A and B are shown apart, each in its own frame.
Chain A
Amino acid sequence: MKSKKLSIPYLIWMVVFTLIPLATIIFYAFTNKQGNFSFEPFQNAFFYSDVFVRSIWIALVSCLICIILAYPMAYIMSRCKERTQNLFVMLITIPMWMNFLLRIYAWVILLQNNGPIDTALSILGINANLMGNAGTVVLGMVYEFLPFMILPIYTVMSKIDNRLIEAAQDLGSNSVQIFKKVVFPLSIPGIISGITMVFVPSASTFLVAQYLGGTDNIMIGDVIDKIFWTDQNTGSAISLILMVAILIFLVLMNFFGDEEAIS
């Protein structure tokens, strides 16, 4: 009984700040400007389908690069001494103490025409436009979200009981086999939560693409941001589609993950 009472404030919180806004979005998504039931917002939303696809695509690529970078890092960290591990965790989290926009600005300054990197490259005879393409957006995303991939994988890996590794050795595994048969399967839950924590925010993020990608590479987050000023109904519809898409993705992910962990 007691625990139920304690949960009341949280329930109120969730109703006020999660359920009501969600309901409002759904309401707006299915009404036109006059407030009548209509599929018009979805028809309008369809106009942005290529931005939508590109957003998902950029999020997936960023996520994949994050895994490729984070996994070895997390593995190395988990094998270090405890003090070194703590140091690594601190170094990884320090950039997060700084404002997100500031970090993106920093990249803009680094990469802009006649900026330090551009100048250095032109001395070497390479003239490339570093800004305003999808690659730069992915770079910004990876930079932004890499810690969210490293930390969950590292947490899961550091919890793998060393005795399991000894048991695997004892039964005849060399280090490659230990990794394949014990460490990797046991680290899958970490990868899954890493994907959740990177894919979801990077699919819906805004500003990163605006600053680094230029006008051709805006993402769905930026579209929602812009459109909401003028057309809340279409904005709500796009948000809803994005939400459902992410939900489907996560369900698939978890389903796939469970299968993997068992077999």
Chain B
Amino acid sequence: MKQKSENAIVSLRNIYVEFDSEVILNHINLDIMDKEFVTILGPSGCGKTTTLRIIGGFLNPDEGDVYFEGERINKLPPHKRNVNTVFQKYSLFPHLNVFDNIAFGLKLKKTPKDEIKKKVHQMLAIVDLKGYEKRSVAKLSGGQQQRVAIARALVCDPKVVLLDEPLGALDLKLRKNMQQELKEIQQKTQTTFIYVTHDQEEALTMSDTVVVMNNGNIEQIGTPADIYNEPVNAFVADFIGEANIINGTMIDDCRVKILGHELECVDKGFGKNTPVDIVIRPEDIEVVKPEEGQLTGTVTDAVFKGVHYEMTVMCNNCEWLIHSTLCQEIGTEIGMRIIPYNIQIMNKMFPTANNEFTATVVSSDKENNSIKIDIEGNIIEIENQYFQEDTNLFIVLPPDGLHIAGDGKGDLNDVYIESVIWKGEHNEIILESDERKWIMQSDQDEQVATYCPISFDFSKAVFTPTDKEES
């Protein structure tokens, strides 16, 4: 698999990383172009920092190759890579002053003294810290330390600068300024920046390319506008900006059914009568008179946000978020119009509408009309069902047949919450147990990238015995 794209300065091929039998990066491929500002965006625990550490050389992937300008550098230690890092907590050397911190890399390269002096001064000018040479780094503010860290990385003249959530510890105003400055520094120095963040706004403002990651996978790579306007799935749509994500059905090319209404759209190729996820951005919904709308609803909440009003509209039990410069009174009946171009159709993240799996009956009780089945080593009792022992069952369990065990004692424990998406009426949660993924419907909000116990409600399930030999 030694292939690399033209112009790619860093290429990751089939990278796989595991810690304590937990998959951190699941065979990812990524090309980073020269002189680009690339942002790796994702929630905490998605593997973005691990990706950065692999490029920096601090971590060796369990599988896969890292290429730098076409050369495989898996075995190259960090100090031999032409890459410098701006660390999350800056990691400035406390025993050195500002000048010596910045000069650290140059001194190691045996750069002549007057050249070091010249370069450090130039760098200090770029990061706006002229005259700070002799200051102790411990006495600088967060923003100043940040800039020293950036200067320290840039002064070595690396081909690639890695930035690991460098603005995370700064307050909002300083962060905005620094975003601007970083972008300017990147353009001035014509260096490739690989920037890791969980802040979607930061990613959209600064980057040429955004890489959206979730749970060890790359979900989408594209320009900020692409990612915002044409998210590939509900996760990306939900993570970037605000969005109404709802279930729908693709009737045919360019025809989609939402909440019982058939609307025109521009997407093709999903097949006929396919369940899909639909994204409509709150600012893309036009508020009109009820009789002129494609959909109608009642305003239940309106909040002034400065530039616009944020309204919540209930339409067939489904919550819609609308941004509009005109406020509608709470309780008003309104019409909503969406132009076809603004309806973004996406494939469902979960391949099937229900949970479909097979399990074996481990014991059965005719008197009480109940059976016990084995799911991933957990024995679960099911009432009001009877099948003979050792029967293989094909089970279809709808999303509302799963719930989080509030008492902490679930049928399956330590199930990983991969994504939680608000679908207007309820949350659609995708879970991952040891062997399979599950789809769950819930009214509660859950925290992504955490673990929870789940229980099954098999009264909603459909059981079909299958041939023993088959499974």
A contact residues vs B (CB 8 Å cutoff) = 161, 163-164, 166-174, 177, 181-182, 185-186, 261-262
Contact = CB atoms under 8 A, between A and B. Distances in A.
Given A177-B108, A181-B104, A169 B91 contact: no
Contacts of A182: 93
Specify the main secondary structure of chain B where it touches its partner. mixed
A177 B79 CA distance: 11
A261 B136 CA distance: 12
B156 to A, nearest CB: 6
B158 to A, nearest CB: 9
A177 to B, nearest CB: 6
Contacts of B340: none
Contact of B79 (A172, A261, A262): A172
A173 B84 CA distance: 12
B87 A163 contact: yes
Interface string B76-100: 0111100111010101111100000
Given A161-B91, A163-B87, A172-B105, 10 more contacts: A164-B91, A166-B85, A168-B104, A170-B153, A171-B105, A172-B79, A172-B80, A177-B108, A181-B104, A186-B94
Contact of B93 (A167, A172, A177, A262): A167
B56 interface: yes
A262 B95 contact: yes
Contact of B84 (A171, A177, A185, A186): A171
A186 B95 CA distance: 7
B152 interface: yes
A170 B108 contact: no
Interface in B117-161: 152-153, 156
B436 interface: no
Contacts of A161: 91
B58 interface: yes
A221 B279 CA distance: 85
A245 to B, nearest CB: 30
Contacts of B104: 168, 171, 181
Given A171-B156, A181-B104, A163 B89 contact: yes
A173 B83 CA distance: 13
A143 B321 CA distance: 75
Nearest to A178: B79
B261 interface: no
A189 to B, nearest CB: 10
A166 B91 contact: yes
A174 B77 CA distance: 9
Contacts of A262: 95
A169 B84 contact: no
26 contacts: A163-B87, A163-B89, A164-B93, A164-B94, A166-B58, A166-B78, A166-B91, A167-B87, A167-B93, A168-B104, A169-B57, A169-B77, A170-B56, A170-B78, A170-B84, A170-B85, A170-B153, A171-B152, A171-B153, A172-B79, A172-B108, A177-B108, A185-B95, A186-B95, A261-B95, A262-B95
Interface residues of B, number: 24
Contacts of A173: 79, 108
A215 B121 CA distance: 65
Contacts of A171: 79, 84, 104-105, 108, 152-153, 156
Nearest to B78: A169
A171 B80 CA distance: 9
Contacts of A181: 104, 108
B2 interface: no
Contacts of A167: 85, 87, 91-93
B468 interface: no
Nearest to A182: B93
A170 B109 CA distance: 13
Nearest to A171: B105
Interface string B51-82: 00000111000000000000000000111100
A174 B85 CA distance: 16
Q: Chain B CB within 10 Å — which of A172, A173, A174 has the most?
A: A172
B79 A169 contact: yes
Contacts of B109: 172
Sorted nearest first, the 10 A-B pairs with minimum C-beta distance are A171-B105, A167-B91, A163-B91, A169-B78, A172-B108, A185-B95, A170-B85, A172-B79, A169-B79, A171-B104
Interface string B425-457: 000000000000000000000000000000000
A164 B92 CA distance: 7
A7 to B, nearest CB: 29
A168 B153 CA distance: 11
Which of A167, A170, A173, A186: most chain B Cβ within 10 A? A170
Contacts of B108: 171-173, 177, 181
A79 B442 CA distance: 47
User: Which of B57, B77, B91, B153: most chain A CB closer than 10 A?
Assistant: B91
Contacts of A172: 79-80, 105, 108-109, 156
Contacts of B77: 169, 174
Contacts of B80: 172
Nearest to A189: B95
B98 to A, nearest CB: 13
A148 to B, nearest CB: 24
Nearest to B104: A171
Nearest to A160: B94
A170 B91 CA distance: 11
A163 B78 CA distance: 13
Contacts of A170: 56, 58, 78-79, 83-85, 153
Contacts of B87: 163, 166-167
A170 B80 CA distance: 8
Nearest to A262: B95
Contacts of B153: 170-171
A185 B97 CA distance: 13
